[in-house]
């Protein structure tokens, strides 16, 4: 089935040509709704599946997802070893509950990232104890050994993009052999994810670019893969003429020192741009890093007063922040989809974006629905940002076309319909147990 056909979803609506609503267990080993796309994905997909009439239960670990009314959360807590303000902490003796907790701490002590494995083991135990409660289990990129074999219901897995891409970019950015060794150890879990992915019967991904990379990097057979585009909450992310445009404001969503996000190139571009546009300034939705490449770049160019980081803001505050910007920017070196691009476009804010990974699938044609630049090119970013800041007519035309593109292609309702169709395929493909029908 083509990506377009899956994305369009079942013709019969929620019940799929008369079939009953589904009981869905949606697993997420991390669910932060303010940093990273996995928490956003779980929140919006679960809401829209519920609106289609399905019963969705999210099963997650810290940071726990923020969910909309009508979607219950079952907490499956880890030891939360990376929490603020004491990341990489050693738990007190009384915090240990079982051998999985011991494994989690031991992996952290040796420089690894344990959560995909340990969450999968806890999830397996939980699901088997509730056998019969769910028609389908949907894993949001845990890809842990615990999710192989019988879980009491067929498994559908979302892989947003292979984490091996993040590993490669982090290794490329590492400037010392000790740092490279640390990166290799941290990403040790990707070996497990490769092994698990190859054995999965039904894999969902969010773009054609990710589909190709999952085949190449993880070895998943193409016939087991389906593309269901995700999207923006177009009711929330919408234009509002009452929100005043702030001259010179550029907005981006980024983790400060994750090389994948390309923020260092945007900061460099801002420095170049301010020689011609002194009012140009950047608002970053994300956590400020007190040290690292981005902090050093801000200090080097004297941009402390021109770059502001915000985090922990409400949905409404985020939307108004984007609405008030003259330009939104996605400077990433790679994305498996790019929710920030779709959300900015949905508000009618004109977008400058790189061509890294699947971003062009979302943003469309250069000069029509966005201004596109090569990834990692600060000069091109500065030129595109300056072009939009200087031309009100171009901003209005690009912004309007961008919103039209999102409305026609990238909504959570369409994503939920396509995902439910894949659930039904997985259920139909599951062999009936011996001795009778399911």
Q: Is 155 exposed, middle or buried (0-12, 13-18, 19+ CB in 10 A)?
A: buried
3-state secondary structure of 326: coil
- Short-list 342, 347, 386, CA closest to 364: 342
pLDDT at 407 exceeding the cut of 90 = yes
pLDDT, tens digit (0-9, with 9 covering 90-100), for 101-111: 999 999 999 99
How distant, in Å, are the alpha carbons of 66, 123, 237 from that of 74? 12, 11, 28
List the domain boundaries for the chain.
3-231+412-429, 249-409
Confidence at residue 297, expressed as pLDDT on a 0 to 100 scale: 93
Confidence at residue 84, expressed as pLDDT on a 0 to 100 scale: 85
What does the pLDDT average to over 152-169? Answer: 93
pLDDT at 32 exceeding the cut of 90 = no
CATH number of 3-231+412-429: 3.40.50.2000
pLDDT, tens digit (0-9, with 9 covering 90-100), for 190-200: 999 999 999 99
The length of the chain, given as a count of residues: 438
The answer regarding whether domain 249-409 maps to CATH 3.40.50.2000 reads yes
pLDDT at 397 exceeding the cut of 80 = yes
Query: What are the helix (H) ranges across 214-338?
Result: 263-273, 293-300, 315-323
pLDDT, tens digit (0-9, with 9 covering 90-100), for 60-99: 999 999 999 999 999 999 999 999 889 999 999 999 999 9
Confidence at residue 257, expressed as pLDDT on a 0 to 100 scale: 73
Confidence at residue 431, expressed as pLDDT on a 0 to 100 scale: 77
Confidence at residue 34, expressed as pLDDT on a 0 to 100 scale: 58
pLDDT, tens digit (0-9, with 9 covering 90-100), for 4-22: 434 444 433 443 334 789 9
What gap in Å lies between CA 121 and CA 112, rounded to an integer?
17
Confidence at residue 270, expressed as pLDDT on a 0 to 100 scale: 98
What does the pLDDT average to over 220-226? Answer: 96
What does the pLDDT average to over 257-276? Answer: 93
Same fold, 3-231+412-429 and 249-409: yes
Share of the chain above pLDDT 90, in %: 82
The region, left, alpha or beta by phi > 0 then psi within -120 to 50, assigned to residue 2 is beta
pLDDT at 435 exceeding the cut of 80 = no
What gap in Å lies between CA 36 and CA 34, rounded to an integer?
7
The pLDDT confidence band at residue 1, using thresholds 50, 70 and 90, is very low
How distant, in Å, are the alpha carbons of 202, 308, 321, 335, 346 from that of 136? 11, 43, 38, 28, 32
What is the H or E stretch that residue 81 is in?
Answer: none
What does the pLDDT average to over 44-52? Answer: 97
């Amino acid at each position: 089935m083509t990506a377009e056909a899956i994305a369009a979803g079942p013709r019969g609506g929620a019940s799929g040509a008369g079939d009953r609503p589904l009981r869905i267990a949606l697993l997420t080993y991390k669910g932060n709704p303010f940093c990273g796309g996995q928490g956003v994905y779980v929140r919006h997909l679960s809401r829209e599946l519920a609106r289609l009439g399905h019963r969705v239960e999210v099963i997650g670990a810290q940071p726990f997802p923020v969910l909309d009314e009508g979607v219950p959360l079952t907490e499956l807590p880890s030891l939360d070893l990376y929490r603020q303000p004491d990341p990489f902490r050693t738990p007190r003796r009384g915090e240990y509950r079982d051998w999985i907790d011991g494994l989690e701490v031991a992996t952290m002590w040796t420089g690894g990232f344990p959560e995909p494995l340990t969450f999968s083991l806890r999830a397996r135990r939980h699901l088997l104890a509730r056998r019969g409660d769910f028609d389908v289990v949907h894993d949001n990129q845990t890809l842990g050994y615990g999710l192989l074999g019988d879980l009491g219901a067929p498994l559908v897995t979302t892989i947003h993009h292979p984490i091996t891409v993040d590993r490669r970019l982090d290794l490329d950015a590492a400037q010392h052999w000790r740092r490279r060794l640390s990166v290799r150890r941290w990403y040790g879990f990707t070996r497990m994810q490769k092994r698990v992915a190859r054995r999965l019967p039904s894999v969902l991904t969010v773009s054609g670019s990710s589909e190709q990379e999952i085949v190449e990097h993880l070895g998943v057979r193409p016939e087991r893969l389906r593309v269901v585009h995700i999207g923006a909450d177009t009711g929330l992310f919408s234009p509002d003429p009452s929100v005043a445009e702030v001259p010179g404001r550029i907005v981006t969503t980024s983790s400060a020192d994750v090389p994948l996000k390309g923020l260092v190139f945007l900061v460099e571009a801002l420095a170049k741009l301010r020689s011609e546009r002194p009012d140009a300034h950047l608002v970053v939705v994300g956590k400020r890093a007190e040290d690292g490449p981005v902090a050093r770049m801000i200090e080097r160019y004297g941009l402390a007063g021109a770059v502001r980081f915000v985090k922990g803001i409400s949905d409404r505050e985020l939307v108004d922040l984007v609405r008030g910007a003259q330009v939104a920017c996605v400077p990433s070196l790679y994305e498996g989809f790019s929710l920030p691009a779709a959300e900015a476009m949905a508000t009618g804010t004109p977008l400058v974006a790189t061509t890294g990974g699947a971003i062009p699938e979302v943003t469309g044609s250069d000069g029509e629905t966005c201004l596109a630049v090569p990834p990692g090119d600060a000069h091109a970013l500065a030129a595109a940002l300056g072009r939009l800041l200087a031309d009100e007519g171009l901003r209005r035309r690009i912004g309007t076309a961008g919103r039209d593109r999102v409305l026609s292609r990238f909504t959570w309702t369409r994503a939920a319909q396509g995902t439910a169709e894949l659930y039904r395929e997985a259920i139909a493909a599951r062999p009936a147990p011996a001795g009778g029908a399911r």
